Structure 1
Amino acid sequence: MEKNTELENWLRGPVPGVNRLLQPAAHAFLQSKEEASVYLKDFPIHLLWITPAGRASLGFHLQHIAGVTDRLITYSQGMELTKEQFDQFRREGEPNNKITPEQLLMNLEQSIQNALEHLKNIEEDELLDTVEIGRKKIPSTRIGVLFHAAEHSQRHIGQMLVTISVLKEGLF
């Protein structure tokens, strides 16, 4: 069956290899990946770190989607964050004129691809396993963390769309 790319991901059928209960998370990740690419087409690089009305920059959103996805996947695996992940977290949103929107998009796409590969390796009987989040080791379920990661990416894509429209209209 050929997939209709005019439809949103959740209407295109199952993502091969992903457990049926994780299909909504896979679809949300794929939608985030596609929308980020579309929204960044021809985006002027000089606007990447502008914070309209004190809100987050487009650069932050791109870094954050990639970073938080990576961090939440780590937690869903029952692991703690590495020093590199903490360092990356601290740098999210710091203006970096050496990085392009295309490089940020590549990082986001790689993070989402890693998340999708992780989803393919989870068995249904593992979904309700308890995992710990953060330094305080707040308990959650594996499925809860994965769904949060997916919806969190979608939330920031929506914020990106608003930021991009404000920036392109010069309303800042």
Structure 2
Amino acid sequence: MRGTFAEVDAVRRQVLHALELAGEDAAKWCYGLTDEDVNARPFGVASVAFHLRHMARSLDRLLTYAEGRQLSDEQMAALRSELAAGATVAEVLEEFRVGLDSAASRVMGLKGYEEVRGVGRAGLPSTVGGLMVHCAEHTQRHVGQMVTTAQVVVGMRRIA
């Protein structure tokens, strides 16, 4: 409802808006977080760093499937390292920014919403359009979790 991306079809426009909003939320809610904050796991929940990494990397994986390709060894290694501790704020925000930019470009290059695509080793059935919508939905779900975790971390810092 922003009136942006008016030249783009409705489905693609909504995916691009979801990615744009994710970038804005990350910038807003991660502002002022320390390296310790982004790695904190209050009450055992996943860290802000995890969510930022996971969003960027899952977009890459989902769009790889939408493009009709299988994951590379590098993508699989990146998947396995998403929970790693010790990230800096600058590192995870940059990876997230680059991931969003790449995803937006790749979304623009996709064609044929109804084309069937297999997901994962099992080749679970999906379509190009289904994967695009999942990119938006999955990203927004993790943005919500990242924002909540960031708020809890800041709140705990204030009462400590």
Question: What's the TM-score, normalizing by structure 1?
Answer: 0.86
Shift of 1:25: 0.9
1:118-157 correspondence to structure 2 within 5 Å: 118-123=106-111, 126-157=112-143
Q: 1:81 to 1:31 in 2, by over 3 A?
A: same
| SS of match in other structure, 1:23 | helix
Q: Is contact 1:50–1:57 with CA below 8 Å preserved after alignment?
A: yes
Q: Structure 1: give runs of 5+ residues left out of the alignment.
A: 1-10
Aligned CA RMSD, in angstroms, stands at 1.6
Q: Once the two structures are superposed, what CA deviation does each residue of 1:43-100 show, in whole Å capped at 9, x if it has no partner?
A: 122122121111101111111011101110101101000000000000001102xx32
| SS of match in other structure, 1:48 | helix
Q: Which amino acid aligns with 1:49?
A: N
1:22-61 correspondence to structure 2 within 5 Å: 22-61=12-51
Q: Is contact 2:35–2:88 with CA below 8 Å preserved after alignment?
A: yes
In 2, the alpha carbon distance for the partners of 1:18 and 1:114 equals 17
In 2, the alpha carbon distance for the partners of 1:149 and 1:21 equals 12
Aligned residues: 158
Shift of 1:21: 2.5
In 2, the alpha carbon distance for the partners of 1:47 and 1:34 equals 19
- Whether 2:58 is the aligned partner of 1:72: answer no
In 2, the alpha carbon distance for the partners of 1:87 and 1:12 equals 37
Shift of 1:16: 5.9
Q: Structure 2: give runs of 5+ residues left out of the alignment.
A: none
- Name the structure 2 match of 1:88: 78
| SS of match in other structure, 1:117 | helix
Q: Is contact 1:33–1:112 with CA below 8 Å preserved after alignment?
A: yes
Q: Once the two structures are superposed, what CA deviation does each residue of 1:120-156 show, in whole Å capped at 9, x if it has no partner?
A: 2233xx0110001001100101111111011111111
- Name the structure 1 match of 2:88: 100
Q: 1:83 to 1:94 in 2, by over 3 A?
A: same
Q: Which amino acid aligns with 1:55?
A: V
Instruction: Select 1:168's aligned residue among 142, 147, 154.
Output: 154
Question: What's the TM-score, normalizing by structure 2?
Answer: 0.92
